[in-house]
Structure 1
Amino acid sequence: MSTPALPSSRIPEAVHRRRWVILWVLMLSLLIVVLDNSILNVAIKTISTPAPTGLGATQSELEWAINSYTLVFAGLLFTAGLLGDRLGRKKVLLAGLAVFGIGSALAAFSGSAAQLIAFRALMGVGAAFVMPATLAVLMNVFEREEQPKAIGFWAGGVGLAIAIGPVTGGLLLDHFWWGSVFLVNVPIVVLALGLMLWLVPDSRDPKPGRIDPVGVLLSVVGLVLLVYGIIKGGQLADFTEPQVWATIGAGLAVLVVFVVFEKRSDHPSIDMTYFRNKVFSAAIGVVALVFFSLMGVTFFAVFYTQSVRGYSALQTGLLMLPLAVAQTVFAPRVRLLVDRFGHKTTTTAGMLLIAVTLAVFAVLDADTPIWILEVDFFLMGAGMAHVMTPTSVVIMQSVPREKAGSASALSNIFRQVGGALGLAVLGSVLSTAYRNDIEDNLVALPAGLRHSAGESIEATLGIAAKLGPPGESLVGPADDAFLHAMHVTALWGAVVALIGTVVVARYMPGKAPAPQEGREESELVPAGE
């Protein structure tokens, strides 16, 4: 006599019953990782203000404060995923949360931009162990048919964090010092640790991969050199300088060595066999292109709203709310469109919408009605939801359940590397275009101030304020130069998004055929396609 099948043949009944509660705990852990960057977005102007209000960070230091976190995060993600597969995802999550909390507390009390960059890197170490483990645990507590829905809520959690971050950051900056935007992470970490210990089950890969320290070192060194060269070129507004092209060349050379080493290694930090699947490669590549475009936009959008339009940090956070609201609203519902139209149509429409919304920034000026920016942010968030959720499903269902940590890590590596390169490249475009436009208005300044004043709009306005009435003549040209630089940068971002549109239109899978009666439902993306 046969017995009724349990809800899951692999997942314990007790875990299956509390799977949705576990999802919310995972989303809380995810919240702090994403919250930190979204809070930082509205705080960068304050941090760039001279002491005692801020740290007096230059634009390049601000980019490094963001990228030190991002590059360490990206460099350690795959190793963190493998450690989670080997040691247990819950253990790795707990350790990552603890390191992230310690790094946050230290960053809050940084005494200089250099200290902030270092402590942000420590936070990146913790985040690297949190992010892939959350998605890996999710894939191990939900059955395949529920995974798209769960991933939709998981992606919606990212939108929620983006929504909470700028508003929370604005409120904190209105009432406390700049370090409060990092210190706020600590109580969230404590709450997440308690809930994790109580509710989340542990899981591991029965056949985990070996750790690859050489590969990790090569990837981090290569990326740091590449990003440093790009940022330095933007800072100098001259990519022909030997220190710029030599550093970029060295970074590319190290990354080539990394790829060759990984292909020959019997325990690579990145499993190159995943990329034999064209659909997997397309999905993960589009993730990188999306964040390449969006990281640059969110960086200059803060200076547009605060420096040019005169809004406060809190008001800027509220202005960015539509982007996050759209993500939160649409991400859990995207699976319905995918079921009806397929991954290809859904993601192509989403990428095209992102490209259009980026191009809109090329027509904004100092007195554009603010509701246009709000509508644009909302549509941008909607586009992002219709790209990130389907691509996440494709990536995670391309590999066996026990390899979920590795797939999640790869997805996040490309997200973070794409974002870091986007910030570096588009930030350099912004810096170069701004300096080229403002330099004719700085000829009257002493030679020592001329170079630093041309680095960013905040640098120009800061020096103008110190000069008193004579400096007022720089304010108008600074606004005009920044707007021109923003227009150029936005068009670059839109072009990158259009490239992503072509990729998904060509390679993403269409509508899946209905499963035939008596036959097992086929895999979404056959491995090795």
Structure 2
Amino acid sequence: MYGMSTTSSAQAPDQAPNPDPDEAPDPDPDEAPDPDPAGHPQRWLILGVICLAQLTVLLDNTVLNVAIPSLTQELDAATSDIQWMINAYSLVQSGLLLTAGSAADRYGRKKMLIAGLALFGIGSLAAGLASSTGQLIAARAGMGVGGALLLTTTLAVAMQIFAPEEHPRAIGIWSAVNALGFAAGPLIGGFVLDHFWWGAIFLINLPVVALGLVAVVALVPESKNPRGDRPDLLGALLSTVGMTALVLAIISGPEHGWTSGRALAGGGVAMAALALFARWESRIPYPMLDLHFFRDQRFTGAVAGAVLITFGMGGALFLLTQHLQFVLGYEPLEAGLRTAPLALVVVALNFSGLSAKWTAGLGTPLSVGLGMVLMSGGLVSIALPASDGYAGTLLGLVLIGVGCAVANPAMAHAVMSAIPPAKAGVGAGINGTLAEFGNGLGVAVLGAVLNSRFAALIPVAATSLPAALAAAGSAGERREITEAFSSGLRTSQLAGAVAVLLGGLLAAALLRRAERAAA
């Protein structure tokens, strides 16, 4: 497998001899030999295939939002049903990312990629044909299993088929697909719903899945951990329970209150399960997640930056949609179109290779720091009172897009390069888990800042803008309520800007220190 620079402490577990010769894996005829140092001859075509598979998963994260009115009418779905339709997918996917990555390393990344596509396709078919809310929620959970396998194996395969010097550009393209999925989901969903019934938003996945299966079988080489560690079943169970409970607590806090039974129970289970997971992983000879990774300052720097960048971005984009609709007065589809410049900038810079060139010239620490400073400036531009028109918002979106294009691939590369190649699936699982955690935390915390500021300024008792406007007794009160909501948005966006800025400085400092220590 392709070599990646790691600390000796991180490599030691993978380089240790097998303590029991009977545990040595049998030769696998499906496992490809050591790849050419120049990279797989069809690597760019393979990257296109796995990015297509990844895009399908990412579209499903956002496409359901535009179908909520249709689901409410045709399936007689209550608000709680809608929440579970959305959350079942993200809960299962985020809870299984680390386990899925570990399974890919042990059993073969190509096998898990095929399994992920198949499960995602079956789940999409079941969702498209669902006739009740319960069936749709169950189908979405099944799609989450396939999504977890796809998100981890796509990045792991990309790290195997490219030479180390091509990793930054390959990861840049992989990262750009995330932005493309974010921008295209609502637009594709809106187009499909204008011409077909709601189930079609899931059935359009089927031809893409079929094409992906054929291409993966024909093109993608098999790769896996050559030592074949014993499966860490208890570690997989504890990590899945812990991460699922943690995401559930983050989702439940804004909806039911941070002191509600659901939020407190989720947080308590998460803390207990993750503490047991850390203790178990530190004591067994074949850990799913080697805790020695956290002794690598490059790894910890990338982890800190990844959490804070997704914290600021997830929360800010959640606030941005409300800013465009409630403050600037755009319709939902128009608001979606006006967020597109962010994704277009990310896609253009990464697909053209410019961001990879900048990262190579600046180095990882400076790239991460500069990218997050630009993102912070973009959030400030959106939050400024002068941006009540679209011009300030457009400038902010462009700055955030440039910052994302530079910082995101650099941090993903830092995470992956701090982990031995044999653990590429686990590395991809860590990268995805950090993104899910930071995004959920950003929505929860910055949403709480918004609600707190809004509640303190409005002249009526209400928990949301529509409820407050309905309770207003005069045009003056409605104007005051709208201004209070705008003030809350600005406060929370500025809080996100501070988090991103501090995250950039912290991550850059840790990555710089790690480089000096290695030198």
Q: Tell me the TM-score normalised to structure 1 length.
A: 0.80
Helix, strand or coil at the partner of 2:460: helix
Helix, strand or coil at the partner of 2:221: coil
Residue 374 of structure 2 aligns with which residue? Answer: 353
> How do residues 431-450 of structure 1 correspond to structure 2 at under 5 angstroms?
431-435=451-455, 437=457, 440-442=459-461
Q: Specify whether residues 14 and 362 from structure 1 end up closer, same or farther in structure 2 by C-alpha distance, changes over 3 A only.
A: closer
Measured in 1, the distance between the counterparts of 2:53 and 2:36 equals: 23
Matching residue within 323, 342, 364 for 2:342: 323
| Number of positions where the alignment pairs a residue of Structure 1 with one of Structure 2 | 486
Q: Specify whether residues 188 and 434 from structure 1 end up closer, same or farther in structure 2 by C-alpha distance, changes over 3 A only.
A: farther
Residue 290 of structure 2 aligns with which residue? Answer: 271
Measured in 1, the distance between the counterparts of 2:62 and 2:325 equals: 16
Identity of aligned residues (%): 36
- Say yes or no: does 1:282 pair with 2:301: yes
Q: CA deviation at 1:67?
A: 4.3
- Say yes or no: does 1:388 pair with 2:408: yes
What is the Cα-based RMSD across aligned positions, in Å?
3.6
Is 275-284 or 192-201 further displaced after alignment? 192-201
Residue 40 of structure 2 aligns with which residue? Answer: 16
Q: Tell me if the contact between 1:289 and 1:418 (Cα under 8 Å) persists in the aligned partners.
A: yes
Q: Tell me if the contact between 1:170 and 1:317 (Cα under 8 Å) persists in the aligned partners.
A: no
Is 274-283 or 110-119 further displaced after alignment? 110-119
- Say yes or no: does 1:169 pair with 2:172: no
Residue 432 of structure 2 aligns with which residue? Answer: 412
Residue 403 of structure 1 aligns with which residue? Answer: 423
> How do residues 75-94 of structure 1 correspond to structure 2 at under 5 angstroms?
75-94=95-114
Residue 446 of structure 1 aligns with which residue? Answer: none
Amino acid of the residue matched to residue 428 of structure 2? S
Q: Specify whether residues 276 and 38 from structure 1 end up closer, same or farther in structure 2 by C-alpha distance, changes over 3 A only.
A: same
Residue 518 of structure 1 aligns with which residue? Answer: none
Q: CA deviation at 1:371?
A: 2.8
Residue 51 of structure 1 aligns with which residue? Answer: 72
Matching residue within 358, 377, 380 for 1:337: 358
Residue 373 of structure 1 aligns with which residue? Answer: 393
Amino acid of the residue matched to residue 219 of structure 1? S
Measured in 2, the distance between the counterparts of 1:364 and 1:101 equals: 46
Q: Tell me if the contact between 2:253 and 2:444 (Cα under 8 Å) persists in the aligned partners.
A: no
Measured in 2, the distance between the counterparts of 1:83 and 1:341 equals: 35
Q: Specify whether residues 107 and 470 from structure 1 end up closer, same or farther in structure 2 by C-alpha distance, changes over 3 A only.
A: farther
Amino acid of the residue matched to residue 423 of structure 1? V
Residue 133 of structure 1 aligns with which residue? Answer: 153
1:137-177 CA distance string (max 9 Å, x none): 22222222222222222223333333332332332344445
Q: CA deviation at 1:267?
A: 3.1
Matching residue within 494, 499, 503 for 1:496: 499
Amino acid of the residue matched to residue 503 of structure 1? L
Is 315-324 or 47-56 further displaced after alignment? 47-56
Q: CA deviation at 1:512?
A: 8.1
Measured in 2, the distance between the counterparts of 1:114 and 1:364 equals: 44
Measured in 2, the distance between the counterparts of 1:460 and 1:217 equals: 44
Residue 456 of structure 1 aligns with which residue? Answer: 464
Measured in 1, the distance between the counterparts of 2:75 and 2:315 equals: 22
Amino acid of the residue matched to residue 31 of structure 1? L
Measured in 2, the distance between the counterparts of 1:71 and 1:137 equals: 24
Q: CA deviation at 1:341?
A: 1.9
Q: Tell me if the contact between 1:67 and 1:420 (Cα under 8 Å) persists in the aligned partners.
A: no
Is 415-424 or 385-394 further displaced after alignment? 415-424
> How do residues 139-218 of structure 1 correspond to structure 2 at under 5 angstroms?
139-218=159-238
1:463-486 CA distance string (max 9 Å, x none): x4xx9x989998656544432332
Q: Specify whether residues 369 and 14 from structure 1 end up closer, same or farther in structure 2 by C-alpha distance, changes over 3 A only.
A: closer
Is 341-350 or 222-231 further displaced after alignment? 222-231
Q: Mind listing any 5+ residue stretches in structure 2 that lack a counterpart?
A: 1-31
Is 156-165 or 330-339 further displaced after alignment? 156-165
1:480-529 CA distance string (max 9 Å, x none): 4432332232233223212211222211248989xxxxxxxxxxx96xx9
Measured in 2, the distance between the counterparts of 1:429 and 1:374 equals: 24
Residue 3 of structure 1 aligns with which residue? Answer: none
Amino acid of the residue matched to residue 30 of structure 1? Q
Residue 303 of structure 1 aligns with which residue? Answer: 322
Q: Specify whether residues 499 and 57 from structure 1 end up closer, same or farther in structure 2 by C-alpha distance, changes over 3 A only.
A: farther
Q: Specify whether residues 176 and 504 from structure 1 end up closer, same or farther in structure 2 by C-alpha distance, changes over 3 A only.
A: same
Q: CA deviation at 1:328?
A: 0.8
Is 497-506 or 399-408 further displaced after alignment? 399-408
1:116-142 CA distance string (max 9 Å, x none): 554433222111111121122222222
Q: Tell me if the contact between 2:304 and 2:507 (Cα under 8 Å) persists in the aligned partners.
A: no
1:427-465 CA distance string (max 9 Å, x none): 344445445555x535xxxxxxxxxxx44345667xx4x
Q: Tell me if the contact between 1:90 and 1:202 (Cα under 8 Å) persists in the aligned partners.
A: yes
Q: Specify whether residues 136 and 247 from structure 1 end up closer, same or farther in structure 2 by C-alpha distance, changes over 3 A only.
A: closer
Measured in 1, the distance between the counterparts of 2:405 and 2:317 equals: 16
Q: Specify whether residues 99 and 437 from structure 1 end up closer, same or farther in structure 2 by C-alpha distance, changes over 3 A only.
A: farther
Is 306-315 or 192-201 further displaced after alignment? 306-315
Q: CA deviation at 1:92?
A: 0.7
Q: CA deviation at 1:38?
A: 3.9
Q: Tell me if the contact between 2:98 and 2:239 (Cα under 8 Å) persists in the aligned partners.
A: no
Is 372-381 or 170-179 further displaced after alignment? 170-179
Q: CA deviation at 1:329?
A: 1.6
